[in-house]
């Protein structure tokens, strides 16, 4: 396979880190699941980073930025260009992510026809961005269907237009947001590094509490297992900002509890523009049993270390994702958890305080090694996969994120 990447397993520095982490991870034993998943490292195919040109049409595109996904760009006819989008490897979920920048030598209308490998289909409504303007969803009248293909009609000129499955939020964008968020909160927010990803990117964590951390119950927040799932990240942002907004509620909450927040679990996949996997070719939300990938392994060992050092107890884990609709995936086992009534109380609070909102809960046994199952099996904690719809309005995401954080704090304080 051309342009493959085999993660730096042979690199001496990485090898030493892996050995050290394997010794540390013994603090948190591997967890057995009824349906284990092979999460050993697999090769991925890299994109060729370049400017693509259809000279006779005067149409150009590029994937030379973090978070891009464009594998081919070819003329179909005088008005239509084929945009080829391929996954990093297979098998893989149908999360056909794309992102590229495009422009023309002269003002003209262009049709982009999206092409995916057999078995995969168009999923995300295009988002567009012009220089100096915010992201916006494309008007539905610009999306066409022809012979089973999805076409996007665009009026282009010399100024670059960004076309993307979802808003692009790179690892650098995330770290900039973190820095701004905690700028005046250094007395109770500690920004640390869990370690490095396969490609050497930082995996940040925010350790948040007021006063001593000793003997405090711990809430863990996770997001960006899967690169395209930015709506889950937007909910995570609002949730975390609400915890840090220095109201009477948040101040009291952080005096009694500790939050460990992981804002980007998969920086390699995010920056490579992957559909779903990390640089090791693996779905990280299937690695919460054996911890074969460095991202999950280091996060598990970090949590275990903090709990052991400060005699804390992990009581709740929320993992923010995106899917086709808003939904909360829960574990049906609750009586023996640290918070047996939390889910019922929390969902009641959401429905009471979000106008017209009905919680879409889907309880189910965690048969595969996913985070919500790990929270339950490893810590007897309540584990919830918090999913936001791909096209949920962004202002509604902010409302859901804020109210869900407020209701969580109220319930835990009560």
Domain count for the chain, please give it: 2
Supply 301's token pair: 């060992």
In a domain, 38, yes or no: no
For 118-171, the pLDDT digits (tens) are 999 999 999 999 999 999 999 999 999 988 899 999 999 999 999 999 999 999
CB neighbour list of residue 364: distance below 8 Å, 6 or more residues apart: 329, 330, 331, 332
Q: How far apart are CA 278 and CA 273, in angstroms?
A: 10
> Is residue 160 domain-shared with residue 205, that is, in the same domain?
no
Nearest to 293 by CA among 304, 282, 305: 282
- According to DSSP, the residues that pair with 69 across neighbouring strands are 99
In a domain, 37, yes or no: no
> Is residue 115 domain-shared with residue 180, that is, in the same domain?
no
> Is residue 146 domain-shared with residue 181, that is, in the same domain?
no
> Is residue 302 domain-shared with residue 392, that is, in the same domain?
yes
In a domain, 23, yes or no: no
In a domain, 6, yes or no: no
> Is residue 221 domain-shared with residue 124, that is, in the same domain?
no
> Is residue 149 domain-shared with residue 223, that is, in the same domain?
no
pLDDT at site 7: 47
pLDDT at site 4: 55
> Is 0.85 topped by the overall pTM?
yes
Q: Print the domain residue range for 219.
A: 169-413
CB neighbour list of residue 80: distance below 8 Å, 6 or more residues apart: 110, 111, 112, 113, 151
The residue ranges of the chain whose pLDDT is under 70 are 1-28
> Is residue 159 domain-shared with residue 207, that is, in the same domain?
no
The domain boundary, picked from 108, 134, 164, lies at 164
In a domain, 1, yes or no: no
In a domain, 32, yes or no: no
For 88-119, the pLDDT digits (tens) are 999 999 999 999 999 999 999 999 999 999 99
> Is residue 378 domain-shared with residue 257, that is, in the same domain?
yes
> Is residue 143 domain-shared with residue 184, that is, in the same domain?
no
Count Cβ neighbours within 10 Å for each residue of 77-86 and write b for 16 or more, e otherwise. Answer: eeebbbbbbb
pLDDT at site 29: 87
The domain boundary, picked from 164, 191, 209, lies at 164
Q: What is the CATH number of the domain that holds 262?
A: 3.40.630.10
């Amino acid at each position: 396979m051309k342009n493959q990447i085999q993660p730096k397993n042979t690199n001496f520095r990485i090898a030493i880190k892996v050995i050290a982490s394997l010794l540390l991870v013994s603090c948190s034993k591997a967890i057995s699941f009824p349906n284990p998943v092979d999460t050993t490292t697999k090769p991925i195919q890299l994109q060729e980073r370049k400017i693509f040109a259809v000279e006779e049409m005067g149409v150009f595109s590029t994937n030379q930025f973090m978070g891009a996904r464009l594998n081919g760009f070819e003329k179909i006819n005088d008005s239509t260009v084929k945009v080829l989008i391929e996954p990093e490897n297979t098998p893989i979920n149908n999360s056909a992510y794309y992102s590229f920048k495009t422009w023309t030598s002269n003002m003209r209308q262009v049709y982009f026809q999206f092409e995916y490998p057999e078995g995969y289909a168009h999923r995300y409504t295009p988002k567009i961005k012009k220089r100096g303007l915010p992201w916006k969803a494309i008007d539905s009248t610009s999306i066409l269907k022809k012979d089973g293909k999805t076409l996007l009609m665009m009026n282009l000129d010399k100024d670059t237009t960004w076309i993307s499955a979802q808003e692009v939020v790179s690892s650098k964008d995330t770290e900039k947001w973190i820095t701004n968020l905690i700028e005046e909160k250094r007395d109770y927010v500690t920004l640390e590094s869990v370690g490095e990803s396969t490609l050497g990117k930082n995996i940040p964590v925010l350790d948040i509490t007021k006063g001593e951390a000793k003997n405090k119950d711990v809430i863990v927040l996770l997001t960006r297992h899967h690169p395209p799932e930015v709506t889950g990240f937007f909910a995570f942002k609002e949730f975390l900002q609400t915890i840090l907004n220095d109201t009477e509620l948040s101040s009291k909450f952080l005096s009694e509890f500790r939050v460990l927040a992981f804002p980007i679990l998969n920086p390699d996949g995010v920056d490579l523009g992957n559909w779903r996997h990390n640089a090791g070719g693996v779905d990280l939300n299937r690695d919460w049993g054996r911890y074969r990938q460095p991202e999950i392994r280091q996060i598990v060992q970090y949590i275990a270390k903090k709990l052991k050092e400060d005699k804390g107890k992990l009581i709740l884990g929320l993992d923010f994702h995106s899917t086709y609709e808003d939904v909360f995936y829960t574990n049906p086992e609750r009586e023996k958890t640290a918070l047996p009534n939390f889910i019922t109380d929390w969902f009641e609070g959401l429905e009471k305080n979000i106008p017209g909102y009905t919680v879409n809960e889907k309880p189910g046994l965690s048969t595969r090694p996913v985070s919500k199952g790990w929270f339950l099996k490893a810590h007897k904690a309540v584990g919830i996969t918090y999913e936001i719809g791909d096209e949920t309005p962004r202002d509604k995401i902010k409302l859901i994120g804020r109210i869900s954080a407020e209701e969580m704090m109220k319930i835990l304080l009560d």
